[in-house]
Amino acid sequence: MSAWVFDEVKGFLVGLGLGTIVAEIVYALIRSSEKFWWLLAWMVFIALFIFFAQIAPVVLFPIFYKFKPLQNEELKARLLRLSEKAGTYVRGVYEWKLSEKSKKANAALTGLGRTRRIILADTLLQNYSDDEIEAILAHELGHHVRKHIAKSMVFQAAITLLGFWLADAALRYAVNERHMFAEVYDFANLPLLALVSTTLSFLLMPIMNAWSRHNEREADLYCWQSVPDVAPFVSSMYKLSAQNLSERKPSRIVEVLFHSHPAVSKRIASAEQYASQHSDAKS
- Residues with a catalytic annotation lie at 140
Reduced to 3 states (helix: H, G, I; strand: E, B; else coil), residue 128 is: coil
Euclidean distance between CA atoms 199 and 227, whole angstroms: 42
The DSSP call for residue 107 is E
| 264 contact partners, CB below 8 Å, separation of at least 6 | 237, 238, 240, 241, 246, 247, 248, 249
Please choose, from the candidates 146, 59, 133, the residue with its C-alpha nearest in 3D space to the C-alpha of residue 93. Answer: 133
Q: What number of H helices and E strands is found in the chain?
A: 11, 4
The DSSP call for residue 115 is G
Q: Nearest 10 degrees: CA dihedral of 211, 93, 221, 145?
A: 70
Give the type of residue at 53.
A
In 208-260, the DSSP E strands lie at: none
The DSSP call for residue 103 is S
SS3 content of the chain, % helix, strand, coil (to 5): 75, 5, 20
**C-alpha separations of 175 from 42, 168, 171, 172, 180 in Å:** 21, 11, 6, 5, 6
Q: How many Cβ atoms sit within 10 Å of the Cβ of residue 119? A: 23
